[in-house]
């Protein structure tokens, strides 16, 4: 088992990372954006690898084992939320970043109507560091749990091993190494899940027998009913809240810098189309796969309550597979954690270098040093944090969506909100998520939806209560969407005391 794990995980990951590092162009643009030279297909697979992380292999599997069919609606909610986001953001982000001038999502969206909104950029940079640190820590914890169960190693060994491997290829290859290794890792993730599902179905004697065995795990209960009603809020109202919260959770991809950076790395609208079609098609198939595997763990393991439910996938592999195959599954699990943590750490490094200072720092060495610093911070949180993996991920994912995602929507729609108004919207969304999480209201509905609602309410209050309209004026550069000769064209004028203004016509720079 140990040999197969070391070969499939360390061997393949380090080899791909080394090859990517050789292709690196040793510049800051290449370190954070891969010089916009990566294939859209590779970016699509990489984006899915970053999205489907320890949340799937640990958190989602735990929910599937304990709550049964509720995860079907969670998966559908994630798919619907992602669908809405893909078509709202990808084309616009690619168009906004033609030439690759922005190296972080905050740098891109805070150049607004020709205005460089420094304080908004710093706020988004801070929120990125805060939430992504917890998110990356959750990935490292998932790797630690996997190694502890599969190989009997102390929990901290898996965390430290993950950190060392990430630093190995991210130091030398940056986002290019992350994208390449993510693409290799999503293959291992898919094959490991397929292996477990095929063996489980074969052991039960076919799909029909598997379904019968699943129903027999809790006959006549909501855990095997298509529409569960045993959630924190009972009845159909609880089920509807769960579904709506799942959609909100899926839409939180709006605020994930480590995923949005893939859209910023696309070179043309044609690449954007290929990226969307490839990414979403694979996402649908992969969601069906890990949902089926999660439900099958209820059949494979019959000792509910005797172990940590977030270990259901690993224990199922040990129950059915020979040691060599278990090592391969363990490699797939580790791949899922690294494929997300590496991108998150690089996004934090970009925020340290590009978002917080003014003007943004331009140094490849400082960029790499930032990567090391953020990796160490995530490691400390993973070693000493007490929350379970699912809670950490839900908190961080929802916080990023409600805070950064809310501002991103306004930016993509070219809204006339001022810098301080946008900051209030972002803080309202992020603060609501934190409070909702601390009060443990997420048991009733995922914290992302209240966060989005709070951000929207603040926006509406500002729009209705503080808006001051500027007089109409023709644009010497031409109509909306026309060419601009400089980044200053279309600059917003902000009347004193107004949080919301009407922008002068003109294309965003």
Query: What is the per-residue pLDDT across 13-40, written as a single tens digit (0 to 9) for each?
Result: 777 777 777 787 778 888 888 888 899 9
Q: Is residue 488 assigned to a domain? A: no
Half-sphere exposure of 206 (CA within 13 A, CB side): 2
Q: Is residue 441 assigned to a domain? A: yes
Q: Is residue 455 assigned to a domain? A: yes
The Cα–Cα gap between 246 and 506 comes to: 38
With a pLDDT cut of 70, the percent of the chain lying above it is: 88
> Which residues are 112's β-sheet partners?
115
Question: Which residues, other chains included, contact 279 with Cβ-Cβ below 8 Å and sequence gap of 6+?
Answer: 44, 45, 47, 48, 86
**In this model, does residue 504 exceed pLDDT 60?**
no
Q: Is residue 500 assigned to a domain? A: no
Alpha-carbon distances of 87 from 143, 170, 206, 263, rounded to whole Å: 33, 30, 39, 11
First to last CA, the chain: 55
pLDDT of residue 509: 33
User: Which residue blocks in 446-498 are alpha helix, DSSP H?
Assistant: 448-465
Q: Is residue 506 assigned to a domain? A: no
502 DSSP assignment: P
Q: Is residue 474 assigned to a domain? A: no
Q: Which of 357, 19, 286 lies closest to 177 in space, CA to CA?
A: 19
pLDDT digits (tens, 9 = 90+) for 159-186: 998 899 888 888 878 888 888 888 888 8
pLDDT of residue 460: 94
pLDDT digits (tens, 9 = 90+) for 213-262: 998 888 767 778 888 766 777 778 888 888 999 999 999 999 999 899 99
CB atoms within 10 A of CB 404: 28
Whether residue 347 contacts residue 150, with contact meaning beta carbons closer than 8 Å, is answered with no
**Which of residues 406 and 474 earns the better pLDDT score?**
406
Q: At what angle do helices 269-300 and 40-51 cross, to 10 degrees?
A: 40
The Cα–Cα gap between 316 and 201 comes to: 13
Q: Is residue 130 assigned to a domain? A: yes
Q: Is residue 140 assigned to a domain? A: yes
- Using the Cα atoms of residue 435, residue 441, residue 446 and residue 451 in order, give the sign of their dihedral: negative
Q: What is the CATH number of the domain that holds 62?
A: 1.20.1730.10
**In this model, does residue 446 exceed pLDDT 70?**
yes
Query: Domain tally for the chain?
Result: 1
pLDDT of residue 416: 85
Domain limits at 115?
A: 2-465
User: Which residue blocks in 68-154 are alpha helix, DSSP H?
Assistant: 70-96, 105-109, 118-151
Whether residue 187 contacts residue 320, with contact meaning beta carbons closer than 8 Å, is answered with no
- Global pTM reads 0.83
Q: Which of 96, 111, 104, 139 lies closest to 125 in space, CA to CA?
A: 104
Q: At what angle do helices 257-264 and 269-300 cross, to 10 degrees?
A: 150
319: its two tokens: 């129950």
pLDDT of residue 118: 93
């Amino acid at each position: 088992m140990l040999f197969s794990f070391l070969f499939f995980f360390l061997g393949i990951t380090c080899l791909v990372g080394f090859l990517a590092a050789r292709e690196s162009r040793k510049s800051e643009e290449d370190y954070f954006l891969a010089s916009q030279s990566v294939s859209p297909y590779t970016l699509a697979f990489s984006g899915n690898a970053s999205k489907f992380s320890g949340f799937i292999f640990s958190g989602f599997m735990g929910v599937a084992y304990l709550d049964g069919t509720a995860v079907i609606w969670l998966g559908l909610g994630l798919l619907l939320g992602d669908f809405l986001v893909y078509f709202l953001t990808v084309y616009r982000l690619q168009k906004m970043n033609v030439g690759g001038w922005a190296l972080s999502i905050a740098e891109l969206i805070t150049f607004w109507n020709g205005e460089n909104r420094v304080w908004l950029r710093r706020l988004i940079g801070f929120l990125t560091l805060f939430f992504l640190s917890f998110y990356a820590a959750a990935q490292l914890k998932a790797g630690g749990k996997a190694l502890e169960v599969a190989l009997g190693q102390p929990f901290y060994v898996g965390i430290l091993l993950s950190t060392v491997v990430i630093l190995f290829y991210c130091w030398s290859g940056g986002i290019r190494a992350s994208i390449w290794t993510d693409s290799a890792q999503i293959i291992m993730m898919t094959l490991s899940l397929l292996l477990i599902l095929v063996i489980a179905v074969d052991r039960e004697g076919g799909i029909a027998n598997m379904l019968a065995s699943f129903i027999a795990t809790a006959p006549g209960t909501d855990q095997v009913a298509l529409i569960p009603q045993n959630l924190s809020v009972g009845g159909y109202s609880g089920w509807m809240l769960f579904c709506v919260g799942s959609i909100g959770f899926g839409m939180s991809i709006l605020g994930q810098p480590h995923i949005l950076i893939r859209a910023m790395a696309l070179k043309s609208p044609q690449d954007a189309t290929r990226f969307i079609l490839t990414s979403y098609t694979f996402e649908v198939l992969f969601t069906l796969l890990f949902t089926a595997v999660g439900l099958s763990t209820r059949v494979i393991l019959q000792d509910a309550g005797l172990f940590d439910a977030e270990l259901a996938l690993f224990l199922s592999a040990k129950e059915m597979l020979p040691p060599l195959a278990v090592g391969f599954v363990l490699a797939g699990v580790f791949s899922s954690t690294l494929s997300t943590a590496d991108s998150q750490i690089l996004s934090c490094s970009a925020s340290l270098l590009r978002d917080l200072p003014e003007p943004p720092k331009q140094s490849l060495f400082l960029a790499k040093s930032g990567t090391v610093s953020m990796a160490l911070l995530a490691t400390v949180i993973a070693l000493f944090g007490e929350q379970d993996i699912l809670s950490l991920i839900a908190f961080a994912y929802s916080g990023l969506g409600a805070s950064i995602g809310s501002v991103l929507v306004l930016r993509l729609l070219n809204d006339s909100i001022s810098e301080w108004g946008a900051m209030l919207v972002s803080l309202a969304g992020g603060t609501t998520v934190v409070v909702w999480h601390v009060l443990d209201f997420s048991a009733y509905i995922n914290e992302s939806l209240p966060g989005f609602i709070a951000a929207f309410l603040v926006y509406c209050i500002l729009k209705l209560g503080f808006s001051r309209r500027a007089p109409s004026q023709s644009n010497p550069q031409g109509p909306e969407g026309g060419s601009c000769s400089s980044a200053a064209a279309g600059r917003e004028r902000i009347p004193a005391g107004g949080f919301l203004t009407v922008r002068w016509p003109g294309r965003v720079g």
